[in-house]
Chains A and B, each alone.
Chain A
Amino acid sequence: MVEDYNKDEEIEKLTESLKHSKKSDFEFHDTINPVYSTGAGLTRKTVEEISDIKHEPDWMRRSRLKALEIFLSKPMPTWGPDLSGIDFDNLTYYSKPGETKAKNWDEVPDKIKETFDKLGIPQMEQKYLAGSVAQYDSEGVYGSLRKEWEDKGVIFTDLDTAVQEHPDLVKDYYCRAIPPSDNKFAALNGAVWSGGSFLYVPKNVTIDMPLQTYFRMNGEQSGQFEHTIVVADEGAKVHYIEGCLPEDELVSQGDKFVRIDELLTDNEVVSNTGNKRKITRKYVHPYNGFMYKIIPLSPGNAFKATSEHPVLSIKKEEVTSRIRNGYNEISTKKLMEAEPQYRRTDELSVGDFIVYVSPVATEDDDSINESMLKILGLYMAEGSISFNKALNVDQMTFSFGRSEKEKEIAYDLYNIIKESGEQVNIFMAGKKYYTVSTYSKPLIKFCLENGGKYADKKAFSDKIMKLPAEKQKLLIDYYLKGDGNIYLKKGKSKMIRAATVSRALAFQLQEMLSRNNIFASIMIRPASSDEISGRAIQRKEQYIVEYTENIKFSRVRHKNNYYYVPIKKVEREEYNDIVYNLEVETDDSYLVKGFAVHNCTAPKYNTSSLHTAIVEIYARKNSDVKYTSVQNWSDSVYNLPVKRAWVDENAHMDWVTGELGSKVTMIYPSSYLRGRGASTSNLQITLATKDTFKDAGGKALHLAPDTTSRIVSKSISLDNGLTAYRGLVRMNEGAKRAKSHVQCDALLINSDSKNYTYPYDEIYEPTAEFSHEATVGKIGTDELTYLRSRGLSEDEASSMIVLGFMDDIMKEIPMEFAVEMNRLVKLEMSKMGAVG
């Protein structure tokens, strides 16, 4: 039985299967038994059954049956790709998952949550999901809406619910822009539709959340026929947003911080739970916009992220006990009870708390004893290793000052080494410094391996970073004996401070202290030049690790392995360069300079055979709608959606469409520019891999004066993949001063790759302006070799070319497109072995 599956086991299996198969990351599917299925085949009875199960009102039932008649009477399209592979008699038109749909996340069946996990859809924070209705088989299983939207009168639910709860509103719009008589597949959807969303945004309401649906088909041979209706009433706005981190940001791997651009897929990072998790994907993307610098109480941990990157946080308003003189007094009790949430960087402000996560993985090593830890601690602070030429051996030297205290430490060290049975000397050099030195090979080896060499490069090994907290405390105590200072402040708080020139070491000390219930802050003292007794001195950048032992004096609060650290300052700068993001298994998060942020998630999809969705959009007067969709169906799917928008006076419609997967795709999102001044932009990226045919384009119908349209299509063909642009621009008589620009660019990656262009231009208005431009490019061996001859790897070179091809529209498309496209192109290229 399915329910007996152990989750961990299944995830492990999944990761295993990913390792062994290049393609399997789209191909997993789970084994939920539908509670109800109409079985294979399409008859009047099937349609009636669907309507019965949904307890639909009579008008919907009749509408379905009428659509069925139209479907049966219409012939298959004879133009475009070959559709003879679709076997209507063997498809399942409706199946209902084993649980009913849930209003909030807790009610979503575990099995389905797991599937979302696998899909990379974040499950742990509902707010993030609130913006999307996830389509699970034919039912929208999860549809939650932020309360603030409800207050504004926004309706966002699955269409089934809308039919029941808002029948009049649905009747107004259902199948108006796309009637079943429009084409055979619109009719099919009209007959058997199931699931899909209904979004109504009232007058002058703006929604800043992604309007994006994650689709996935479960089970072989089942169709997916969702029907989505978006209504933006007068002056309403609906948009889509996403984001990433800059290249030099540091991510925690547990033992050390690593630059994000250096991390690779399968490397491990520490997640928000403090556990090590594997990176399942890495994203690279150019970004042009605001970069936020979040500076917490510990300024050395300041990090940067793009404006929409989600950061684990608690708003000060949630945990304020009272406001005095405009200052929020924080209630520790409230803070301890608060649940951190992921929030966009640009929603954070001074005083809010972000979450420093202390890693939990511990692995003791019995071979490391107390004296070794003490020696290592002092080595990190005062030790150096050099080669003694005269004796032809390595020598480890510790230098201490001449004070009584320093003398005591020097003798302590001398005794520790002596007692461990190793050779050691102590002497006073030039009557100034106590010096302890040893030639002990095992000790030198141990310190080198676990502490590194050279002051600015010293860092503890992975082994040391995993030791139990108590052992680490001993190590730190001895480190501080060397490099530390103690300050007694007024009010008897004891401040402990250590300075190091090794950035890595500073972060490691902070991490070890965090495991000992201490939050240390890090400050950076910039490099400087100075003059001492006429001699120029260059000081390196120094990292000051500082903490107070008396927790009462700290503004940081501690809960389990979380430290809530207040934000001191938020800075913002314009940024135009490459950004990175990671997708991390299980926890969907990672730590930037120790603080938890959310990872990226890209939709992935599964196998099936027919997808015929309808998307109807009504952009009323002065409204602004952006509809983004990415599909990555497996290469057995026929993807034949119908998408159309009615755009009224001065309204704007943005279509952004990514067609990455499927065997055959036919998609032509259309904008009917019905009112004066209506405008539309239609961006499309298509990718045709081996044996696939992507027939895609856009339609703009100019039915009123001063309407404008822009269609940009970018297609990439790999292997023998075929892409076609098929588009229509119609300018009716009377559409005075209408303007349209169509641009189709194709990139061919193999000599078998093909691209066709079929533009249909029907211009009946003499004052209209229309232009069409088309280019075809090729990734050749010469281009790749040129880039590689400058040091770029083959992967980097090809992805640079692909990203370059999409560069002019990059700012307008969601990152997932670019990365997914990039990844798929790479994958396909590696399958082919070579390019050319």
Chain B
Amino acid sequence: MTETVLEIKNLKAEVDGKEILKGINLTVNYGEIHALMGPNGAGKSTLGEVLIGHPNYTVTDGKILINGKDITHAAPEDRARAGLFLAFQNPITVSGVKISTFLRMAYNNLYPDEKMPLKEFFNMVKEVMKDVDMDESFITRAINDGFSGGERKRFEVLQMVILRPKIVILDEIDSGLDVDALKLVSAEIKKMYNQKVGFLIITHYQRILKDIIPEFVHVLKDGKIVMNGDKNVSDRIEDEGYDWIKE
């Protein structure tokens, strides 16, 4: 039985009057891995940011549904509460905001009924830190403050695991990660995949797709999905680039 977690219907969005997404249709079911590929400037990252409700973008048409609930115009926090998670391509530094305080508040907002005791919560965080090879000392540091590219990515994965989303968008999660780190990250993704979380993996290259085999591959070009296929599509992109795909 398949059940839809994310449904994007004819989504159009613009920034400063310029249309970037020109009618996207995409459906992700629980326990499916979708890859969204495309050349630079196709609008891949924009799609991720529009999905989380970044205020820089205006949705001009279409709908976004999570679990059947319309979140097209919801605030970013309400989308997170509905189960959406985006691992950012370039996670931003928020100086002074400690990871411990931030994670705790985020978790309590997403799971208000759990009321997990402080100790238990941080024990859980520490466990996940081990899994993604982050030193415990990070917990007292400010968000991404002085982090290397790889550390930022691992922190995104850490949040993904702790916040238990229903649908995960990974934006170029493999960039900045060395081979070993990529393995750890892939392992976490597989664990969540086994728990029937839906994935949308945005990637320009297909490094990550060596470890994680997507069932569906979509190609985005100039704000539109121009091709839907499977692993064969990403393999061919690896060999030939994007020129063979016509708009």
Chain A interfacial positions (CB closer than 8 Å to B): 248, 259, 261, 286, 577-578, 777, 781-783, 785-794, 796, 800-801, 803-808, 834, 836
Contacts and interface: CB of A to CB of B under 8 A. Distances in A.
B86 A789 contact: yes
A437 to B, nearest CB: 30
Contacts of B108: 261
A792 B55 contact: no
Interface in B15-46: none
Given A785-B55, A792-B106, A804 B77 contact: no
Interface stretch (B90-98, B179-187, B211-219): B90-98
Contacts of B109: 791-793, 796
A805 B77 contact: no
Contact of A787 (B55, B97, B118): B97
A577 B94 contact: no
Contact of A783 (B94, B107, B110): B94
Contacts of A790: 80, 85, 102, 106, 159, 163
Contacts of B191: none
Contact of B94 (A796, A804, A834): A804
A573 to B, nearest CB: 12
Nearest to B86: A789
Interface string B138-166: 00001100000000000000010001000
B81 A248 contact: no
Nearest to A834: B55
B242 interface: no
Nearest to B159: A790
Contacts of A794: 75, 77
A791 B91 contact: no
Name, among A777, A781, A786, A804, the residue most crowded by chain B CB atoms within 10 Å (CB to CB): A786
A198 B98 CA distance: 42
A774 B137 CA distance: 26
Contacts of B143: 786
Given A787-B102, A789-B86, A792-B105, A805 B95 contact: yes
23 contacts: A259-B115, A783-B92, A785-B52, A785-B53, A786-B88, A788-B53, A788-B77, A789-B77, A789-B80, A790-B85, A791-B77, A791-B110, A792-B102, A792-B109, A793-B75, A794-B75, A801-B96, A803-B97, A804-B96, A805-B95, A807-B96, A807-B142, A834-B55
B130 interface: no
A806 B85 CA distance: 29
Contacts of B77: 788-789, 791-794
Nearest to A247: B118
The 3 A-B pairs with the shortest beta carbon distances in the complex, nearest first, are: A804-B96, A788-B76, A804-B97
Contact of B96 (A792, A793, A806, A834): A806
Given A806-B96, A807-B96, 19 more contacts: A248-B115, A286-B101, A781-B55, A785-B53, A785-B54, A787-B94, A788-B77, A789-B79, A791-B80, A791-B110, A791-B163, A792-B105, A796-B105, A803-B96, A804-B94, A804-B97, A804-B142, A807-B142, A834-B55
B115 to A, nearest CB: 7
B2 interface: no
B56 interface: yes
A834 B56 CA distance: 12
A18 B52 CA distance: 36
A248 to B, nearest CB: 7
A337 B142 CA distance: 54
A784 to B, nearest CB: 8
A577 B119 CA distance: 11
A785 B55 CA distance: 8
Nearest to A802: B96
Consensus secondary structure, chain A interface: helix
A807 B52 CA distance: 28
A277 B200 CA distance: 50
Which of B102, B105, B117, B118 has its CB near the most chain A CB atoms (within 10 A)?
B105
Contacts of A286: 101
Interface of B: 52-56, 75-77, 79-81, 85-86, 88, 91-92, 94-98, 101-102, 105-110, 115, 117-118, 142-143, 159, 163
B126 to A, nearest CB: 16
Given A248-B115, A792-B105, A834-B55, A801 B94 contact: yes
Contacts of A789: 52-53, 76-77, 79-80, 85-86
A805 B96 contact: yes
Nearest to B93: A783
A781 B15 CA distance: 14
Contact of A807 (B79, B80, B91, B98): B98
A800 B142 CA distance: 11
Contacts of B106: 787, 790-792
A777 B92 contact: no
B101 A578 contact: yes
Contacts of B101: 286, 577-578, 800
* Central interface residue in A259, A781, A803, A804, by most chain B CB within 10 Å: A804
Given A789-B52, A796-B105, A800-B102, A248 B117 contact: yes
Nearest to B49: A785
B205 to A, nearest CB: 25
B115 A800 contact: no
A174 B116 CA distance: 58
A791 B115 CA distance: 16
A578 B103 CA distance: 13
A782 B54 CA distance: 8
A248 B53 CA distance: 32
B76 A785 contact: yes
B8 to A, nearest CB: 17
Contacts of B118: 248, 577
Nearest to B106: A790
Contacts of B95: 777, 804-805
A286 B140 CA distance: 13
B104 to A, nearest CB: 8
Given A789-B52, A792-B106, A804 B80 contact: no
A786 B97 CA distance: 12
A289 to B, nearest CB: 16
Most buried by A among B96, B98, B106: B96
A3 to B, nearest CB: 49
A803 B96 CA distance: 8
Contacts of A796: 105, 109
Contacts of B97: 787, 800-801, 803-804
A292 B87 CA distance: 40
A793 B75 CA distance: 9
User: Which interface residue of B101, B117, B163 has the most chain A CB atoms within 10 A?
Assistant: B101
B66 to A, nearest CB: 13
A571 to B, nearest CB: 16
A242 B225 CA distance: 59
Given A781-B55, A791-B109, A793-B109, A786 B98 contact: no
A786 B92 contact: yes
Contacts of A836: 55
A86 to B, nearest CB: 37
B81 A791 contact: yes
Nearest to A795: B77
A805 B101 CA distance: 14
A261 B115 CA distance: 11
A275 to B, nearest CB: 28
A788 B55 CA distance: 11
A41 B79 CA distance: 61
Nearest to A810: B96
A787 B97 CA distance: 10
Nearest to B54: A785
B169 to A, nearest CB: 10
B242 to A, nearest CB: 28
Contacts of A800: 94, 97, 101-102, 105
Contacts of B96: 801, 803-808
Contacts of A783: 92, 94
A742 B143 CA distance: 25
Contacts of A259: 115
